Structure 1
């Protein structure tokens, strides 16, 4: 991602990249209000989505947020999706507001934003404000728009004037804007360019010229609809409108806790059903763990998703739970890993030196604390000792049936976040799930380190006079009891960190089970109608490059499991994505990632091969 070349002229930010001011050098706030932030009406719906090309210094966002927070007639939640391809450093952003004499006016919101401002790296970053989500997308709009999925109510086209930045307003960009718009979406821009008008009209925007801010005219446009073909429709979301807010989640681990928190922000009444008799008996229950990322070759989807999940989980825990990352060291312990490290040496998330990578946004986490605090904040009602068996539906409401408890009914939405137990309650022909046993070992303190260390195994810093190492990985063993053999395996896997003369004293061990998919990606998304998929997409071997019909799913049933050993990263993106599907929101991550985690992906791969 490029760094913005920004200077000040008369205390106003000026772009050397586009030879243009970021906004009116004499009256920027009033221009932004006139052209953008006061030029539309809020609806009183559940959600309102503003999308913007050109975040710049964020003035349009902060003005929109202040208007939203101060409005009595407004939607319940504001989503603001803004694209930017020229990175401005945190200190320079703050200086912009000070030089413009705007710092005191926006200080509270600006500093909250800057506290969680990401590094200079392409990605999809979410910020949490009161009843508002800001999705800041760092990537060239030509590429990033294709990776987004939402239906905006309003678009701000604010990427310098078309004469200076013609690419921002070209036909391909306008085509994607149309795809991301609903009927009657408004386009707001300071421009009156005939080039822009032509491209808007081509994709059925009704264009009118109106009086501009201290200029003769500018454009307003309204989207009237356009038909788009989709070659991968089988991964598309199917919009459903309903008003029911009663929701059930099966499972009480990090996936369920993340879901419960996110859903509570959207006003859902949440009940959680857990088979165990207390909260901490599953894979989200270790006293200590580490938050880190896979380091794979650049542009490998699994690695890119792992990075995005890692940094967004870190930022989420910082914003919501006050997490303070101490950093974690990852070590390359073979030639393949060293090659991956060498190829990622310029990645700002990984400070790589020889065979070590320091991830300053990672560190030690307390799984029990995270899960319990998210559940507390969500206000969810938790039922313990409820082993889920199956559901029935009557009048579009779910009734849940349990092994030894009475049934519970009246739920509008059901989500499986059941981890390693999912194999017992869900069966898809093409979906292979593994229940993997992992054992961690607790040792008398033996290594004085302030950082978590990860190689063949991981070591956490000393806590409560104990040091945790782990974990084993066993697909074939379902024994719930710790074994000496696994303790010895964990110790063997940390030998590289030892001098050879330490006396390692085992103080305890713990076994947990995690759910894995056959391709190592989590399984997150709608529960699809298997028979419909088989029938509708049976000819994919010959038609995979042609447009497909939209899918059919099991209505209001969603899946969120198979997070493996990195659930405290991927569960955050998973919860956002499920909320997006339920509430018709921006996805909260790039669309190509949703294809990688879609529950139907295994079946689609088979159909494409003619199997």
Structure 2
């Protein structure tokens, strides 16, 4: 199977940058004319799409662009949006780029446009440090604007995109310089992402472009070009796309008639989701049985944040790399400590695994390097969980209540607390780990409980002698740097019976022996023996068989089994209907031991699903975390 976004670094273009002239040696063309570049782009793409007028009546407006290039189209739009929105609207700008500039190159280019300085500064501050294939989402919260950069060729990028586009900027090098880009496949995917009245503008009037757009349903109009260019094209879509989902079992579902939202579970998953919904102006209540967020499984004082690479280019590896890069942008620098993670080659087997990983993947040095001790992840690190939780929680509507039962009438969800209190909401999201399974009585939620324990202790001077004070040391277990004199050592990973897993986790007496035994035969063995005291805390993780989380709508499983009972015969996907969702019920669980790495991205993805805004995840990764995947695979295996 072809992988849309393989794990490897991108090749940047061979470009000459001089003043306001940027020339591509690969395509033998300039990105824009030095003296009129900005004005031309404003004329073609902003005026050509009737902006800002066309976005005035939209709460959410989505622009998609072929070819991010130097970012000038985005920055022009950013400025226009800032000056011309009502403060309650949100702009989604989506742009693909196969050969992105590095941050330093963009900085060198954009300094020539002082009129865009405010917006260039914002872009450069958030621009991806690590350039990898796939989706990179940047939030400009102060401006109610979201930029999604998709580093890939245009066809691959847009075939993996889930969005309803309101306006298209068809930019990039023209058909004579870049014929591979302007294909019938591109025009088809543009049509599939459009709706009736979607607008489009492009600088070229080439016959190939006109015919391609007409063939997929656009009405074409030649308009006056800019400067010496006599003509340009504008277009409008005359129909809605017939189908947008090639694998109906993985359909996502928008919430209906939603004014109020309830999130059950205030671990890092629920906390992140409540934050995302509130950022979108939604009325959210966060429920938890504890008096404040992140006191149970998410309560370890130092949470490790890093990617999870595998020897094969697996969905698991791609998801956690995407999640890691998103988390780096999400967490406040006040609470995230990018001290680096040193993954030790503690055995010959581990050494061989690490060597194969380095050989197999061409990864940027900012992401991963080989050292004498093993592998080093420079940007990985740890999060002050309690500082982050307290900072986030103070802005949320928090309700301490242990929800023991959920029911729905025709209009709303009803939640019953342990004390008998009843709460109501339009939309209900279960983000409470294993307890989501308990509340979904009769629904097959394939998560398994794992009991985990960490040990923590007062560091002494000896830890400085063995190098444990700089980076997180990772082998079969992990040890964190000293923070306020405390170090964390973890973690166990044990099976626990399901009836027990719904309550609070208990610590076991042997936690210290088990966590320290992972370091026997190393310099740390004597260090641990020198410590005078230690403590422990425990949590219960919700895990899945494929090591990926569960994020999305709850479907009517009995109906799905009936509709898909013969899928194992290999019938075409077109013969199967969309699943039916339980109205306004969603789940976010199964984060395992990587919750702090994955929760921000998962929260953004689920928020996108609920509100039907452009999806932060590629289609292939959204399928990989879909709650319905296990049932679908089970039916296919029959």
TM-score by length of 2: 0.90
Residue 338 (str. 1) matches residue 347 (str. 2): no
State the shift of 1:322 in Å: 6.8
State the shift of 1:175 in Å: 1.0
The aligned counterpart of 2:391 is 373
Q: Superposition pairs for residues 18-417 of structure 1, below 5 Å?
A: 18-39=27-48, 40=50, 41-72=54-85, 76-98=89-111, 101-102=112-113, 104-118=114-128, 119-129=130-140, 130-214=143-227, 215-225=229-239, 226-228=241-243, 230-239=245-254, 242=257, 244-318=258-332, 323-334=336-347, 335=349, 337-344=353-360, 346-348=362-364, 349-353=367-371, 356-376=374-394, 379-384=395-400, 386-409=401-424, 411-417=425-431
Residue 480 (str. 1) matches residue 505 (str. 2): yes
Q: Which is worse superposed, 333-342 or 461-470?
A: 333-342
Change (3 A) 1:212 1:324: farther
State the shift of 1:325 in Å: 2.0
The aligned counterpart of 2:456 is 442
The aligned counterpart of 1:531 is 558
- Structure 2 distance, partners of 1:65, 1:322, is 29
- Structure 1 distance, partners of 2:221, 2:152, is 30
CA displacement, residues 85-112 of structure 1 (integer Å, 9 cap, x when unaligned):
11212111111122xx30x322232222
Partner secondary structure for residue 543 of structure 2: strand
Partner secondary structure for residue 526 of structure 2: coil
Q: Which is worse superposed, 591-600 or 532-541?
A: 532-541
CA displacement, residues 379-405 of structure 1 (integer Å, 9 cap, x when unaligned):
321111x22122222342222112224
Partner secondary structure for residue 310 of structure 2: coil
- Whether the aligned pair in 2 keeps the contact of 1:311 and 1:361 (CA below 8 Å) is no
Residue 453 (str. 1) matches residue 464 (str. 2): no
State the shift of 1:324 in Å: 4.9
Residue 605 (str. 1) matches residue 616 (str. 2): no
- Structure 2 distance, partners of 1:572, 1:586, is 16
- Structure 1 distance, partners of 2:521, 2:176, is 59
Residue 468 (str. 1) matches residue 493 (str. 2): no
Q: Which is worse superposed, 265-274 or 416-425?
A: 416-425
Structure 1 residues not aligned, in runs of 5+: none
- Structure 1 distance, partners of 2:72, 2:19, is 18
State the shift of 1:45 in Å: 2.1
Residue 580 (str. 1) matches residue 608 (str. 2): yes
The aligned counterpart of 2:5 is none
Structure 2 residues not aligned, in runs of 5+: 1-9
Change (3 A) 1:187 1:512: same
- Whether the aligned pair in 1 keeps the contact of 2:98 and 2:151 (CA below 8 Å) is yes
State the shift of 1:219 in Å: 1.2
State the shift of 1:544 in Å: 4.6
The two structures, once aligned, show a CA RMSD in angstroms of: 2.1
TM-score by length of 1: 0.94
- Whether the aligned pair in 2 keeps the contact of 1:326 and 1:451 (CA below 8 Å) is yes
Which residue of 607, 623, 631 corresponds with 1:595? 623
CA displacement, residues 234-282 of structure 1 (integer Å, 9 cap, x when unaligned):
102245553x321101011101111111111111111111123444431
- Whether the aligned pair in 2 keeps the contact of 1:398 and 1:413 (CA below 8 Å) is yes
State the shift of 1:233 in Å: 0.8
The aligned counterpart of 2:6 is none
Partner secondary structure for residue 573 of structure 2: coil
State the shift of 1:298 in Å: 4.3
Change (3 A) 1:500 1:371: closer
- Structure 2 distance, partners of 1:389, 1:113, is 45
CA displacement, residues 307-358 of structure 1 (integer Å, 9 cap, x when unaligned):
1111111121158x67452222223445263255334553122122356222
- Whether the aligned pair in 2 keeps the contact of 1:544 and 1:608 (CA below 8 Å) is no
Q: Which is worse superposed, 32-41 or 77-86?
A: 32-41
Q: Superposition pairs for residues 486-505 of structure 1, below 5 Å?
A: 486-495=511-520, 497-498=522-523, 500-502=525-527, 503-505=530-532
Q: Which is worse superposed, 223-232 or 532-541?
A: 223-232
Q: Superposition pairs for residues 543-554 of structure 1, below 5 Å?
A: 543-547=570-574, 548-554=576-582
- Structure 2 distance, partners of 1:581, 1:116, is 24
The aligned counterpart of 2:14 is 5
